[in-house]
Structure 1
Amino acid sequence: MNAPPAASPSPDHSAARGAVKWIAAQTLDWARSDGERWIFVAKAMLAAFSALWLSFRLGLDAPYTALATTIILAMPSSGMVLEKAFYRFLGTLVGCSAALVLMALFPQQPPLLIAGMALWVALCTGGAAMYRNQQSYSFVLAGYTAVMIAVPSIDAPANVFTLAVTRVTEVSLGIICSAVVHDVIFPRRHSRAVMRTVQARYVGFIDFCRQVLEHGITPADAELHHLRFAADIAALESGRAAAFFEAGHSRSHTRQLHAFNAAFMTALTTFYTLHRLSYRLRMAGASPVLELVEPMVAHLAQSLREDLTPARLARMRGELAADIAAARARLA
């Protein structure tokens, strides 16, 4: 007996399946665009109201401090939140400690206390100018926190300890609420964005080098690209510091990113020098040096069009070293 033919799907079933696929696609698109923004807003509000409720529950003197801390720490990724939270706590703790020390040294001498605070603020300002990103922010916070604690206690030195403890408690409560909410509920890992940036920069820099070596880009555009790559170095260093605080980002990855950034900076400056010297040689006209350099440059540009596997890069290094040795022998 022949098997009965398989029943074809009904038009209603096909239409329902198509509708489900369309809804799933639209939902995924929304989750990648507006959905991320709304999730961020929801997490920021949850952290803020959690800190405010706990502050009222614990009977803290200034619940708005914990609320403001959660708003200040609201950042797009969990790594950025944890980084800023760490340095905010550190700056607050150091600033309160400095206020306690200054008040203990000059409890009844307001002029000396003001002079000590001025010196402390000057030191913190210098530290903020020396460092970047959240480290600079921590120095600024340590400076003005000491003033916020010490100045109201000039007429009542006995209150300085209470003010310092209250400030640290309120800020710590806001930090804990922000860190827990942003790192547990739909966390957005900064390390993934950093790795995508690294891959895009590698591809972009290789393409830029090839265009320059083939003389397919004007000197003005080359200068502009150099400035953009230099700005990317600082941006990647900032992203690496934020990714360090994420649990899934190991210390070995952080060291590798730091080494990559240092190597990229060296390659960028070296290639910029090579580009300027080559441009001056071409502007000066025909010369024996230019006749020797141009074939090597063309060979390197052609090699950059290939698939740059580790084995191919090793061969390119050997070929380039051989070409340089041959050129030096001809000049000798």
Structure 2
Amino acid sequence: MTLPSWRDWLFSAKAFLAAMLALYLAMALELPRPYWAMATVYVVSHPLTGATRSKAVYRIGGTLLGASAAVILTPLFVNAPTLLSLVVALWTGSLLSVSLLDRTPRSYLFMLSAYTLPMIALPALNSPENIFDLALARSEEILLGILCASVVSALLFPGKVAPIFSARLNSWLGDARDWACELLSVGTRSQAGGHASRHKLAADILALDQFISHLSYDTTSFAMVKNARELRGRMSMLLPILSSLSETRQALLQYKDGIPAELTALMQQVAQWMSGDDSSAMRRQAPQLQRQLAALKQEIASGDGWQALLIAHGLARLQSLINLWLDCRLLQQLIVEEHPTFSWKPAYRHWPVGGTARHYDYGMMAFSSLQASAAIFLASQLWIQLGWTDGSGAVIMVAIASCFFAALDEPAPMMRTFLIWALVSIVLTTVLLFMVIPAAYTFEMLVAMLALPFLLVGTLFTRPQFTMIAMMLTVNTATFLSLQGAYDTDFTAFFNGNVATVVGVSFALLFSLLVRPFGIELAIRRLRRASWHDLAETASGRRLEDYPQLTARMLDRLGQLIPRLAANGHDQLPLVFSELRTGFSVLHLQRDENALPGPAGVRVQHVLDGVAAHYHQALALRLQPQTAAGLLAQIDTALAQVLAEPRRNDHHVLTVLNALVELRITLFPAAAGYAMTAADLPLPAGGVSP
């Protein structure tokens, strides 16, 4: 762990200044719980001004929604505590499910409203007539904290998303370039290095989604956000293209003469071109590479043999890679330049990249929501039956812990971390509250005493691996201190409140361990089964309504799978990429088979039926079976029939041909080379003559 940089200290100082400003104003306005304003600052603060602004907007909405629900629902059920507990549990679970369905910063609005209701409603059970005042005070204190955090973030050395986004783009595109250059190199590629590059690129795409969502709050330039989304789509397409190139390369290396020298030279030129830093030069050089590629296709890839088909397929993927990379670099230049000097036209037009569909595991989302509701209801019943005065605090912590970690495959480890750092916060608060703060006679002295711990912990916010720990420490400590306009600490109340916190988090942890013993393994299996289902349905022709959305969903599912596979040490990455390439091949065949009338179209449909049967069998067996040899024969028959087409150079025919080659090397990587001719073709079903 390195020492904090000046940027870390700057963010920490800004957050502390905003927190002290919020605390001072809350005390001056005589709000009942000024420490809520202080804690809110640390909840919404972010090194990037746009992210702070987005969190502030959604926290305001979530607070007002939860507070309004508390004001409406509490008086209705105040005389029926069990029924109120059920209403609170159902509200939290319902809003949590909506939050899980929204994978943008907007989800924060629904999550916050989910646990704001119990935070306001449960403590008011002893005095329900004050529910409106409590909800109003809660809203005022949070709004004050948000206002202070937003103003300080915007006025003092604002951290803009756009410049940092530009720096991150260099890193992300560097990961893509590294994988491509490893693949295009002449020597034997390191398997571990290739896997690492693929992991990084998939993670980069997920991170890019988050930056794009914050970018819209940071700039008034609609064009920048639009260009960032275009870039995201093209970076996603690099995954199947590079994976396909890798498999084609391996298939060619099985021949005695290996990869033809001309193709090797072109691959090295493309790798050198991709390593360039001058986008303008790359734009000038790209047409020359495309001409070389077209000439090479005429020279060494014009035959009907399997090696020629592999070379033609590799050249097609290389062409897509050139176009995608050119688009990525030009879009990066447009994002970086405040006043672009050129207008961009997409070079990659082969496949739509604008889909926004995402994969959602509705079953696990429903389970997570029901788990949160059940935990809150059971904790509420224990509180009611025991008659524990401070038990509402425990139920609130159950709600918070259940909501915070509901999206995780294994919430228990993070709940355990939450509990540990809550205990650390209690120790820190005890020292500050009973040994340090009593010596503070003025607000200035109080600020000086709080500065050291909060400034030190604040430097951790800018490091992703420590962000959650920093938030737990600062927010919990600010809340546990319960600072008021005058020092008036009751040790009994302090002790009972902290016990409630520990009991609440512990209950949520134990309940999670009890009802959710499964984890990443189940998530991986469900994601792969969802992939098989999509593949089977698409091959059957049942899900062809929107190709961009199907493409986006497949790529999103890949992005969810890769970090889980990496975390669990699974070696299923080649299978996952194979399924992705199979999906694209099936989409190509479904889209273009209608351009092949007669026998060729029939043969292609047989292949699609075989792929559908294979993945339907996988769904039925709950595991991926050995690919049937009959499917290999169907692919070879379709290849021979398509090669016999008189319109061999038609765009649609070439697309179908490449898709069949892709299916063959994906589903049967170890099969001997294709060697069928049109004369060997059997009659297709229905008696149609070839």
Match of 1:129 in 2: 100
Match of 2:345 in 1: none
Q: Distance in 2 between matches of 1:301 and 1:98?
A: 63
Structure 2 counterpart of 1:118, from 78, 85, 89: 89
SS in 2 for 1:309: helix
Match of 2:41 in 1: 70
**C-alpha displacement at 1:321, in angstroms?**
5.2
Instruction: Tell me whether 1:50 sits opposite 2:17 in the alignment.
Output: no
Q: Distance in 1 between matches of 2:186 and 2:94?
A: 50
Match of 2:302 in 1: 329
Match of 1:225 in 2: 197
Instruction: Tell me whether 1:175 sits opposite 2:142 in the alignment.
Output: no
Cα–Cα, structure 1 residues 298 and 109, in superposed 2: closer, same or farther, change >3 Å? farther
Cα–Cα, structure 1 residues 115 and 311, in superposed 2: closer, same or farther, change >3 Å? same
Q: Quick one: which amino acid aligns to residue 311 of structure 1?
A: R
Which has the larger helix fraction? 1
Match of 2:228 in 1: 257
Structure 1 counterpart of 2:270, from 293, 303, 312: 303
Q: Distance in 1 between matches of 2:64 and 2:264?
A: 56
Q: Quick one: which amino acid aligns to residue 233 of structure 1?
A: I
Cα–Cα, structure 1 residues 108 and 319, in superposed 2: closer, same or farther, change >3 Å? farther
**C-alpha displacement at 1:148, in angstroms?**
0.8
Instruction: Tell me whether 1:153 sits opposite 2:153 in the alignment.
Output: no
**C-alpha displacement at 1:178, in angstroms?**
0.6
Cα–Cα, structure 1 residues 148 and 279, in superposed 2: closer, same or farther, change >3 Å? same
Structure 2 counterpart of 1:266, from 237, 241, 265: 237
**C-alpha displacement at 1:185, in angstroms?**
0.9
Cα–Cα, structure 1 residues 276 and 132, in superposed 2: closer, same or farther, change >3 Å? same
Superposition map of 1:191-230 within 5 A: 191-216=162-187, 217-230=189-202
Which is worse superposed, 59-68 or 69-78? 69-78
Q: Quick one: which amino acid aligns to residue 13 of structure 2?
A: A
TM-score (ref. length: structure 2):
0.40
Would you say the 8 A contact 1:191–1:249 is kept in 2? Answer: no
Cα–Cα, structure 1 residues 269 and 297, in superposed 2: closer, same or farther, change >3 Å? farther
Q: Distance in 1 between matches of 2:9 and 2:21?
A: 18
**Deviations 1:153-173 (CA, angstroms, capped at 9, x unpaired):** 334433222222211111010
**Deviations 1:194-232 (CA, angstroms, capped at 9, x unpaired):** 111113333442343122112443122101110011111
Q: Quick one: which amino acid aligns to residue 305 of structure 1?
A: Q
**C-alpha displacement at 1:50, in angstroms?**
0.9
Q: Quick one: which amino acid aligns to residue 286 of structure 1?
A: Y
**C-alpha displacement at 1:46, in angstroms?**
1.5
Q: Distance in 2 between matches of 1:251 and 1:104?
A: 46
Would you say the 8 A contact 2:23–2:35 is kept in 1? Answer: yes
SS in 2 for 1:39: helix
Structure 2 counterpart of 1:98, from 69, 76, 79: 69
Q: Quick one: which amino acid aligns to residue 250 of structure 1?
A: S
In structure 1, stretches of 5+ residues that fail to align are 1-32
Would you say the 8 A contact 1:214–1:298 is kept in 2? Answer: no
Q: Distance in 2 between matches of 1:180 and 1:95?
A: 24
Would you say the 8 A contact 1:44–1:70 is kept in 2? Answer: yes
SS in 1 for 2:31: coil
Match of 2:458 in 1: none
**C-alpha displacement at 1:145, in angstroms?**
0.6
Q: Distance in 1 between matches of 2:36 and 2:166?
A: 36
Q: Quick one: which amino acid aligns to residue 171 of structure 1?
A: I
Cα–Cα, structure 1 residues 319 and 45, in superposed 2: closer, same or farther, change >3 Å? same
Cα–Cα, structure 1 residues 322 and 155, in superposed 2: closer, same or farther, change >3 Å? farther
**Deviations 1:47-84 (CA, angstroms, capped at 9, x unpaired):** 11111111111111110000111122332222222222
Which is worse superposed, 315-324 or 117-126? 315-324
Match of 1:23 in 2: none
TM-score (ref. length: structure 1):
0.78
Across the aligned residues of Structure 1 and Structure 2, the Cα RMSD in angstroms comes to 2.7
Would you say the 8 A contact 1:191–1:240 is kept in 2? Answer: no
Q: Distance in 1 between matches of 2:18 and 2:201?
A: 37
Cα–Cα, structure 1 residues 46 and 303, in superposed 2: closer, same or farther, change >3 Å? same
Would you say the 8 A contact 2:66–2:115 is kept in 1? Answer: yes
Q: Distance in 1 between matches of 2:216 and 2:244?
A: 33
Identity percentage over the alignment? 29
Q: Quick one: which amino acid aligns to residue 125 of structure 2?
A: I
Would you say the 8 A contact 2:44–2:55 is kept in 1? Answer: yes
In the alignment of these two chains, the number of paired residues is 295
Would you say the 8 A contact 2:53–2:217 is kept in 1? Answer: yes
**C-alpha displacement at 1:105, in angstroms?**
4.9
Q: Quick one: which amino acid aligns to residue 190 of structure 2?
A: T
Which is worse superposed, 272-281 or 166-175? 272-281
Q: Quick one: which amino acid aligns to residue 302 of structure 1?
A: Q
Cα–Cα, structure 1 residues 318 and 129, in superposed 2: closer, same or farther, change >3 Å? farther
Cα–Cα, structure 1 residues 138 and 286, in superposed 2: closer, same or farther, change >3 Å? same
In structure 2, stretches of 5+ residues that fail to align are 305-642, 644-690
